[in-house]
Amino acid sequence: MSRRMMLAGNWKMNKTISEAINLAVRLKYSCNSVNDRDIVLCPPYTSLKPVAETVKDSSIEVGAQNMHHQLSGPYTGEVSPEMITDAGADWVIIGHSERRQHFSEDNQLLHEKLATAAREEIKVIFCVGETEQQRDEGKVAEVLTSQLKETLSGLDHPDFVELVIAYEPVWAIGTGNTATPEQANQAHQLLRQVLADIFTAEIAGQIRILYGGSVKPHNAAQLLGQSDIDGALVGGASLAADDFTAIVKFDTEENISIVDF
């Protein structure tokens, strides 16, 4: 089963509007020859529309980093599904570990968000991953299984425009401690097995599973060369045009030339 490679950049709480436009312009030019893999940029809410407008005549797509599960209402400070699509987002990241950790997002809430994204026809990057302690205690399989089963059960895969899973071991995010290619691939195989239990083996074979956690230009090729790793969700290294471009073009000979703006 060949799955199209996907590289997504999670800019987190970084970049003003002008900085975001500048980065998007640089990536639009540096990645304009890339047509065999998908590129998704996930800026903060305030830069969704400017970034979407910047890349609209390219193959780069835009995603939000979160959204509320209700369509509208008295939820001060929150942003609805319609607001993000209106701003130009085709994708949304759901369940990032920073949201689970700092904003107490649990599997019940994430199930609601996934259901809403499916109903509102927003493509999803759904993040799962174990903490260091859970890995040390030998609970990787248990944690990953419950993170998928408790959130996706009750949802039909055809309900989603697209569902992408991101395996992001919490201990590897923003730490420089990357999972080894073998550790990551093993986790991806486990996730695919759980997806087969929830949906079907055929569907599980089609779902892209990204790796996230300190992906950098120097380790991208090894990680992305694994059989069950279908791309990367990149945090820190997606904030610099040359680093993210190098990751996007991880196995090409092409020279990376960044246009200065």
248 near ligand PEP (CB under 6 A): no
Q: Which of 234, 241, 247, 248 binds ligand PEP (CB under 6 A)?
A: 234
Residues within window 127-146 making contact with ligand PEP, judged by CB under 6 A: none
Minimum CB distance to ligand PEP, residue 74 (Å): 30
173 near ligand PEP (CB under 6 A): yes
213 near ligand PEP (CB under 6 A): yes
174 near ligand PEP (CB under 6 A): yes
Among the options 68, 69, 96, 111, which is catalytic? 96
Closer residue to ligand PEP (CB): 199 or 247: 247
Closer residue to ligand PEP (CB): 64 or 199: 64
Based on the residue annotation, tell me whether 112 is a catalytic residue of this protein.
no
Minimum CB distance to ligand PEP, residue 94 (Å): 12
Q: Look up residue 217 and give its two tokens.
A: 């230009």
66 near ligand PEP (CB under 6 A): no
10 near ligand PEP (CB under 6 A): yes
Among the options 98, 157, 168, 188, which is catalytic? 168
Catalytically active residues, by annotation: 96, 168
Binding site residues, ligand PEP, CB under 6 A: 10, 168, 173-174, 212-215, 233-237
